[in-house]
Amino acid sequence: MKRTAATFALVLGLSAGVTGAISAGGRTPQPDWYPAPVEYTEDGREKVDLELVLAVDVSSSIDETEARRQREGHVAALADPEVISAIQSGGYGRIAILYLEWADADFQRVVAPWTVIGTEEDAQAFAASLATSPFISGRRTAIGAAIDNSVSLIEGNAYAGQRLVVDLSGDGPQNAGPSLSAARRRADAAEVTVNGLPIDNSRQHPFRPSVTINVSAYFENEVITGPGAFISPTNGHEDFVDALRRKLIIEIAGLNPSDMTRNG
């Protein structure tokens, strides 16, 4: 399922456009913002604007330095004032988020469990759990298993989100694990959108075959799925942080990436 209209939405430096779109919709919190009361469904699940799994590739093509840079990028993005503003602008003013590192089909490691973020302090606490967790590397790249596991984590949590999203990063194609197409179909059936953060990784493992395909095109055609799904390609650590920050704002605020090109 190809989504070329959204591919370039987050690679053009559209931070002002994204923020402007939120403000134009009257969703920017006022200076006297205060947390909204917590609401629950009849079966006891906490209502949130978004359930988000950050599914991060730690296969052998990504060394510890790059993996830690990805963590640092997520820490920096989640602490960004515009990201916090987007969270607080939602109807419930909070999101539920989980950080998953994945590689082989049997390597699916929750680094930071489901956490509700509604304030800067919440984001800092989540970031601290990422910063202190040890790094463990996997081997192969089982994207289908990562999507499958992410959907299970969403279906089995204690939250009721208005939107369900898996934010999957990686630097190469699937080379192990269960069917990727079947995993995408399961995500579609569960109404979970899978967005992609393809990484052009210059730090690939010297003893592994290099990735020669166009990773961005692969993610767009073979990985992402669901209404409004998009990719945000990145080429380096600084680019990764900026792309991730804008990507999170769009996902959290429920904006259409293609609209951002018009607002930019």
Residue 180 CB contacts under 8 Å (≥ 6 apart), including other chains: 143, 144, 147, 174, 222, 223
Q: With 0-12 CB in 10 A as exposed, 13-18 as middle and 19+ as buried, what is 149?
A: buried
Q: For domain 47-263, is the CATH number 3.40.640.10?
A: no
Res. 30: pLDDT tops 50: no
- Confirm if 201 and 65 have CB atoms less than 8 A apart: no
Res. 120: pLDDT tops 70: yes
> CA–CA distance from 227 to each of 53, 195, 230 (Å)?
17, 10, 9
Count how many Cα atoms sit within 13 Å of the Cα of residue 242 in the half-sphere of its side chain: 15
User: What is the reported pLDDT for 36?
Assistant: 81
- What single-letter amino acid sits at 261? T
pTM, two decimals, is 0.83
Distance, CA of 89 to CA of 82 (rounded, Å): 10
- Confirm if 73 and 240 have CB atoms less than 8 A apart: yes
Q: What is the DSSP string of the chain?
A: ---HHHHTTTSS--HHHHHHHHHHTT-SPPTT--PPPP-B-TTSPEEEEEEEEEEEE-STTS-HHHHHHHHHHHHHHHT-HHHHHHHHTSSSS-EEEEEEEE-STT-EEEEEEEEEE-SHHHHHHHHHHHHHSPP----S--HHHHHHHHHHHHHTSSEEEEEEEEEEEESS---SSS-HHHHHHHHHHTT-EEEEEEB--S---TTSPPP-S-HHHHIIIII-BSTT--B--B-SHHHHHHHHHHHHHHHHHT--HHHHHHH-
Residue ranges covered by each domain of the chain: 47-263
Residue 93 tokens, joined: 């003013």
Lowest mean pLDDT across 25-34, 58-67, 101-110: 25-34
pLDDT in tens, 203-225: 555 545 555 689 999 999 999 99
Distance, CA of 222 to CA of 217 (rounded, Å): 8
* Angle between helix 81-88 and helix 120-132 axes, rounded to 10 deg: 120
pLDDT in tens, 62-88: 777 777 888 888 888 888 999 999 999
Res. 33: pLDDT tops 90: no
In 3D, which of 68, 98, 77, 51 has the Cα closest to residue 244? 77
User: What is the reported pLDDT for 174?
Assistant: 94
